[in-house]
Amino acid sequence: MAEVLVEFDTTVSGTDGTRWIPRACGRVGADGLWEGWIEFLALRESTEPVRTPRETGQSNRDALMYWAQGLTQIYLEAALLRALEPPHRRPSPPSVSPPRFDTPAPRFAPDREPGVPQPVLNPFEVYRQGENVLWRQLSALSRARLLDIVTGYGLPNAAAAHDSSRETLVATIMSAVRRPPGSRGSADSPKP
């Protein structure tokens, strides 16, 4: 059963100038906690009382009383504004459209074309980190991986590269990335 815990000896004014007497009330809630709220009685008898939603939940009546006795004028003023607001409605769930796909995306990107080499690094991106960084990474690669870079990015002399040594392939890649961007065309993206 609900009870008035504290009837305050102050009034709180609403935005329209109506003066209200605040009272802290409480009861044992459905969840077993003592719940507290604040109700406001208008000094004009023609105005209906208002109340806040649940303001607190406490483990016992003494804790609820402690909460009620600690309420300040500022808290009560804010509580009146909450009590005068119309209750918020939960938004209705948006209508859900059916999925656009029947399956999840593939786990791995498919190869561009069967037999087309996949470069293990983008020499133009690595070159931005520094020439020495690119040179060290290229020097660590096998001839086959270097050949993939040369052919995959369509670097100059790609046709002759098949007969080139590792050192020649590294030099070919290094000279291609050193050229100014306008002079190398679209070589900084792999060919499809």
Q: Find residue 13's DSSP bridge partners.
A: 19
pLDDT band at 150 (very low <50, low <70, confident <90, very high): confident
Return d(Cα 122, Cα 86) in angstroms, integer. Answer: 61
Quote the mean pLDDT of the chain: 84
Q: Which element (helix H / strand E) includes 25?
A: strand 19-28
Distance from C-alpha of 69 to C-alpha of 24, rounded to nearest angstrom: 8
Using N-to-C axis directions, what is the helix angle for 143-152 and 166-178, rounded to 10°?
Answer: 30
At residue 19, the pLDDT reads 95
Per-residue pLDDT of 10-47, as tens digits, reads: 999 998 999 999 999 999 999 899 999 999 999 988 89
Round the CA-based radius of gyration of the chain to a whole number and report it: 38
Question: How many other CB atoms are found less than 10 A from the CB of residue 96?
Answer: 6
Compute the CA torsion angle 175, 179, 185, 190 (nearest 10 deg): 40
**The two structure tokens encoding residue 131:** 């020439």
Distance, CA of 130 to chain centre: 34
Secondary structure of residue 101 in the 3-state scheme: coil
Going from N- to C-terminal start, the domains of the chain cover 3-84, 123-183
141 and 167 Cβ atoms separated by less than 8 Å: no
Mean predicted confidence (pLDDT) in 37-65: 94
Tokens of 10: 């102050």
For residue 88, give Cα distances in angstroms to 36, 91, 115, 131, 192.
Answer: 19, 9, 62, 62, 56
Q: Kindly report the pTM of this predicted structure.
A: 0.47
State residue 191's pLDDT score: 52
| Residues whose CB is less than 8 angstroms from the CB of residue 133 and which lie 6 or more positions away in sequence, other chains included | 126, 127
